[in-house]
Amino acid sequence: MASMSLQQVKYLDTILDALFHYQDPACQLIESERK
């Protein structure tokens, strides 16, 4: 995947960013406490 264009990289970065921000920090805390 070294031939990815800058546009594709930015697109993936945006999706990952959105996924991380979508998750509730409190839920992450509870999940980490359970393990």
Domain boundaries, the chain: 1-35
Distance of alpha carbon 22 from alpha carbon 35, whole angstroms: 22
Q: Any idea how long the chain is?
A: 35
Residue 14 three-state SS? helix
Question: Is the per-residue pLDDT at 1 higher than 60?
Answer: no
Residue type, 29: L
Question: Is the per-residue pLDDT at 35 higher than 90?
Answer: no
| pTM listed for this prediction | 0.42
Q: Dihedral through CA 27, CA 32, CA 34, CA 35, nearest 10?
A: 150
Distance of alpha carbon 35 from alpha carbon 30, whole angstroms: 9
